[in-house]
Structure 1
Amino acid sequence: MVNFFIISYLLITLGIGFWASKRIKTSGDFTLAGKSLSTSLVGVTLFATWFGSSQIMGNPGYFILDGFSSYITLILSGGICLFIVGQFYARKLYRMNIVTINDFFRVRYNKKLEVFSSLIMVLSYPHWIAAQFVALAYLFNTVMGIPFNYGVFVGASIVVFYTYIGGMWAVAYTDMVQSIMILLGLFILLFEVLTETKGIAPIFSNQSKEFFDLTPHGGLEEWSAYIALLLAFIAGAIPVQEIYQRVFSAKNEKSARNGLFLGAILMILIPSIPLIIGLGGVYLHPELLNNGNSQDIIPALVKIMTSIPVQVLFYGAMISAILSTSSGAMLAPSTIIGENLIKPYAKNLSDKNLLLYTRLSVILVAAISCYFAFDDSDIVGLVEASLSLILVCLFAPFTFGLFWKKSSVTGAWSAILTGGLSWLFCYIYNTIIDPTIYGFVISCLTMVIGSILCPDKNNAK
């Protein structure tokens, strides 16, 4: 019965994608939904894009083991990031009338930086998407008994289909439906767990005093990992394309900004629910921690505690969350490939062919992501890896270029190359302090030094 309803839900999702495809007439419709999204759609699609596998399957395990210090790094950080973008970045970038973040690098610096930053951005996404494929595979295995490897391909195929045909319109509409499913599933399971535990107080009264600390308990290594996660999930996420794909899809500047604030609120409130569910589940069934896979706690809990109708609803909600994140993350690099790596260099490229190449890029990105899904099955680790590369290479030239008039082309190149190479060097030699911290600090310093020593001619004048 569960399998039947899950398959039916997946078919409905594909149907929504097919229906949305009828609105796709131009490449602008595919990438930015014709710049017509309202505040609520911007906020909900931002939430749905970021509320995925790590929030439902990865974060509860970390919260159970590390307590409220992980709440700061894994939950609060997402809301802070969206608030910062809404308060400081959105207005300036929306007025530039661009399609991708990498368009900014062309307008602010030059075409070479546009291409190089596009390659970095595209390379960062397969890890993020792979995390969603891994989560879908775990879920299909738990619910339907599908082997992990086949589950990766099944999940990838579903996301590719409705993203390929419907683009940003399909992502927006399916995100709205999927968000409703997510909320229903989470609230019902939360009610079931709290009924069994007789409220929220017994769950937290059972924890040690250290569980409530907001900072790490250990020494330098623990603090290093803590700071690196904060940097990755706040600063590293600021330049990512999937945020601005929704900002640029808004019907006006006000809708874009308010949508970011709505997304920030949702990203703090809703992801807190799986943490309580996971903690309550382990309180009721301590054996859930004995299987060695903390990412499987909530799917296993649903199977143990709930009736068939609730299982159907919740598994549908989990699949919804992961599908929405996958589609949004897949559309972002595909748009960059079409707009920044193909369009500027293809002579006499018609809009119809640009639309085709962008759609084909969806398939390419999915294929690469499948490779990473097989190579590394740590969901939160995959997400962190994708954001670290953007943080150490692109945050400094993006942020300084937007707010500091003296930012120069030389400074931007210095930030990208020194930040990336120092991060790679520290990663290879496994430094005690996290490589992300070294890369971030060096990137920002060289951005300033390079811009002062080698100013652009226009700035010098």
Structure 2
Amino acid sequence: MLLFSIIGYLVLTIVVGFWSSRRVNTSSDYMLAGRSLPLMLSSSAMFATWFGSETVFGASSEFLEGGLYAVIEDPFGAALCLILFGLFFAPRLYKMNLLTLGDFFRVRFGKNTELVASFFLAPPYVGYIAAQLVAMGLIIHVVTGLVLWQGVVISAVVVTIYTYVGGMWAITITDFIQTVIIIGGLLVLAVIMGDKAGGVTHVLSQVPQEDLKFLPSLDLKEILTYVAAWSVLGLGSLPSQDVFQRSMSSKSAKVAEWSCYIAALLYLTIAMLPLFISLCTKMLYPEQITGDTQLTLPNMVLKHTSLPVQILFFGSLISAIMSTTSSSILAPAAIFSENLIRPLSKRRFTDKQLLNITRICVLLFSIVSTIMTCLRSNIYELVGESSILSLVSLFAPLTFGLYWKRANAAGALLSMLLGMVTWIIFEFSHSSWPSLVPATIVSIFALIAGSLLWTPKVEHGKNRTQPIE
């Protein structure tokens, strides 16, 4: 019965994708849902940005092993990203009427910067997509007993069909449905588990104090590690196409801004439920936390809850992960087609041809991510690595490009390249210090130095790169 219910969820999602495809007539419809989403749909889309495998599987697994201190990156860093994006990025970017985040680098810094930025924007999504496919594969493995890679391939095929057909419209509509379901499913499970464990107060009273540690000690290395944990998603996901495309799909700048705040509030509250459920599981069924802790929640639900609860939990989880995966596949596909293929072809393609190219890119990124998924399976690490690459290369050019008039193409290019090189040096030298901290600092100073030392070309009495008002 559970298996048939899961199949039903998968079929329903594909049906929604085909139904939504009727609204897709242009590349803007496919990438940004025609920039027409009301606050409710926009907020649910923003909430669903990361609320998938890393929150339910990855964060709960890390929490069981390292306590609250181990999950600063997600959910707290993710909520910080949404708040910052709403405050400082969404209103200004929305007014620029861009199709992708790569377009910002072309408008602000020129075509060469657009091409380089696009190489840094698209590839990190491979790891993120892989994390979602791992989660889907884990669910199928738990329910059916199939080997993980087989579940991954099945998941990839289903999600790719759905993304290929419906684009951002399908993602948005599914986001709203899955938001309602995931909140309801986790609330029901949390209430049941909390009641079995003796209530919320009793559960929290049994948690060791060190597991509730939230602030760092007065040690420089620990403080930097703590800041780095906040920054991985908190700053690293600000220059990301999936956050951009969900926000820019709103019908106005004000809706784009407020949807970020509402999504952050939902994230901070709803993301606590998997952590609480994992605590209850640890108290009631300690045998479930042995082995791969990523399987703790699904195994517990399968063995110790009734069929209706199983259907609600697995159905809502699959829905959430599929929506997150779909958006993550569309994001790099949009960047690759709009900001790499189109400019390199000297913009000879019509909008209809660009739409078809974007769909082909969806297939390409899905295949590459599926291969990567079969090689690695730690969800939390895959998500973190995908955000770090954006942080050390794109955070400074995007932020300074929006707020500093003197920022220019030379500074932006220097920032991207030196930030990435610094990260690679520290990462492969196996330093005990978090490599993203020096890399981000170098990226920021490189942008400032490059912008001050190199004067942009002047055409007809104006700077080649105009400041954002």
TM-score normalised by length of structure 2: 0.95
Does residue 321 of structure 2 align to residue 322 of structure 1?
Answer: yes
Match in the other structure for 1:244: 244
How far 1:345 moved relative to its partner?
3.1
Q: Deviations over 1:375-414 (max 9, x none)?
A: 2111010001100110000111111111011112111111
Asked if the contact 2:116–2:413 (Cα under 8 Å) also holds between the matched residues in 1, the reply is no
AA aligned to 1:432 is S
For structure 1, which segment, 341-350 or 133-142, has the greater mean C-alpha deviation from structure 2 after superposition? 341-350
Asked if the contact 1:250–1:256 (Cα under 8 Å) also holds between the matched residues in 2, the reply is yes
Q: Deviations over 1:192-230 (max 9, x none)?
A: 101101211121111222222213569666555433221
Asked if the contact 1:178–1:317 (Cα under 8 Å) also holds between the matched residues in 2, the reply is yes
How far 1:152 moved relative to its partner?
0.8
For 1:375 and 1:218, the matched residues in 2 are separated by: 39
Does residue 398 of structure 2 align to residue 360 of structure 1?
Answer: no
Asked if the contact 1:229–1:384 (Cα under 8 Å) also holds between the matched residues in 2, the reply is no
For 2:277 and 2:222, the matched residues in 1 are separated by: 26
Does residue 414 of structure 2 align to residue 414 of structure 1?
Answer: yes
Does the C-alpha gap of structure 1 residues 6 and 389 become closer, same or farther in structure 2, counting only changes over 3 Å?
same
Query: Partner of 1:434: helix, strand, or coil?
Result: coil
Asked if the contact 1:52–1:322 (Cα under 8 Å) also holds between the matched residues in 2, the reply is yes
Asked if the contact 1:73–1:226 (Cα under 8 Å) also holds between the matched residues in 2, the reply is no
Match in the other structure for 2:14: 14
Match in the other structure for 2:335: 336
Query: Partner of 1:344: helix, strand, or coil?
Result: helix
Does residue 431 of structure 2 align to residue 431 of structure 1?
Answer: yes
AA aligned to 1:134 is V
How far 1:73 moved relative to its partner?
3.0
Which runs of no fewer than 5 residues in structure 1 stay unpaired? none
Match in the other structure for 2:378: 378
Match in the other structure for 2:69: 69
Asked if the contact 1:54–1:379 (Cα under 8 Å) also holds between the matched residues in 2, the reply is yes
- Identical counterparts, % of pairs: 37
For 1:26 and 1:344, the matched residues in 2 are separated by: 18
For structure 1, which segment, 300-309 or 63-72, has the greater mean C-alpha deviation from structure 2 after superposition? 63-72
For 1:57 and 1:220, the matched residues in 2 are separated by: 31
The equivalences for 1:83-162 within 5 A come to: 83-162=83-162
For 2:115 and 2:125, the matched residues in 1 are separated by: 16
Match in the other structure for 2:258: 258
Query: Partner of 1:49: helix, strand, or coil?
Result: coil
For 1:448 and 1:271, the matched residues in 2 are separated by: 37
How far 1:52 moved relative to its partner?
0.8
Q: Deviations over 1:233-289 (max 9, x none)?
A: 111011111111022211111111111111111111111110000111111111122
Asked if the contact 1:411–1:451 (Cα under 8 Å) also holds between the matched residues in 2, the reply is yes
Q: Deviations over 1:159-188 (max 9, x none)?
A: 111110000110011111111221121011
For 1:103 and 1:299, the matched residues in 2 are separated by: 41
Asked if the contact 1:343–1:349 (Cα under 8 Å) also holds between the matched residues in 2, the reply is yes
Match in the other structure for 2:43: 43
For 2:221 and 2:286, the matched residues in 1 are separated by: 29
AA aligned to 1:401 is G
The equivalences for 1:172-183 within 5 A come to: 172-183=172-183
TM-score normalised by length of structure 1: 0.96
How far 1:359 moved relative to its partner?
0.5
The alignment covers a number of residue pairs equal to: 460
For 1:108 and 1:447, the matched residues in 2 are separated by: 14
AA aligned to 1:296 is L
Asked if the contact 1:408–1:456 (Cα under 8 Å) also holds between the matched residues in 2, the reply is yes
Asked if the contact 1:32–1:168 (Cα under 8 Å) also holds between the matched residues in 2, the reply is yes
How far 1:64 moved relative to its partner?
2.2
Match in the other structure for 2:467: none
For 1:371 and 1:217, the matched residues in 2 are separated by: 41
Match in the other structure for 1:285: 285
Asked if the contact 1:407–1:455 (Cα under 8 Å) also holds between the matched residues in 2, the reply is no
Which runs of no fewer than 5 residues in structure 2 stay unpaired? 465-469
For 1:327 and 1:222, the matched residues in 2 are separated by: 36
For 1:439 and 1:103, the matched residues in 2 are separated by: 25
Query: Partner of 1:22: helix, strand, or coil?
Result: helix
For 1:418 and 1:391, the matched residues in 2 are separated by: 12
How far 1:374 moved relative to its partner?
1.5
For 1:260 and 1:289, the matched residues in 2 are separated by: 34
Does the C-alpha gap of structure 1 residues 5 and 218 become closer, same or farther in structure 2, counting only changes over 3 Å?
farther
Asked if the contact 2:236–2:388 (Cα under 8 Å) also holds between the matched residues in 1, the reply is yes
For 1:64 and 1:140, the matched residues in 2 are separated by: 23
How far 1:460 moved relative to its partner?
8.3
Query: Partner of 2:37: helix, strand, or coil?
Result: coil
For 1:379 and 1:314, the matched residues in 2 are separated by: 19
Aligned alpha-carbon RMSD (Å): 1.7
AA aligned to 1:53 is S
For 1:217 and 1:322, the matched residues in 2 are separated by: 35
Q: Deviations over 1:29-64 (max 9, x none)?
A: 111111111111111011112101010001012222
For 1:305 and 1:401, the matched residues in 2 are separated by: 53
Asked if the contact 2:77–2:232 (Cα under 8 Å) also holds between the matched residues in 1, the reply is no
For structure 1, which segment, 300-309 or 131-140, has the greater mean C-alpha deviation from structure 2 after superposition? 300-309
AA aligned to 1:189 is L
For 1:302 and 1:197, the matched residues in 2 are separated by: 15
For 2:451 and 2:435, the matched residues in 1 are separated by: 24
For 1:448 and 1:280, the matched residues in 2 are separated by: 50
For 1:329 and 1:38, the matched residues in 2 are separated by: 22
For 1:11 and 1:73, the matched residues in 2 are separated by: 33
For 2:455 and 2:352, the matched residues in 1 are separated by: 40
For 1:38 and 1:305, the matched residues in 2 are separated by: 40
Match in the other structure for 1:56: 56
For 1:332 and 1:210, the matched residues in 2 are separated by: 39
Asked if the contact 2:422–2:439 (Cα under 8 Å) also holds between the matched residues in 1, the reply is yes
Match in the other structure for 2:452: 452
Query: Partner of 2:273: helix, strand, or coil?
Result: helix
Asked if the contact 1:87–1:257 (Cα under 8 Å) also holds between the matched residues in 2, the reply is yes
Query: Partner of 1:375: helix, strand, or coil?
Result: coil
Match in the other structure for 2:164: 164
Asked if the contact 1:82–1:260 (Cα under 8 Å) also holds between the matched residues in 2, the reply is yes
AA aligned to 2:188 is I
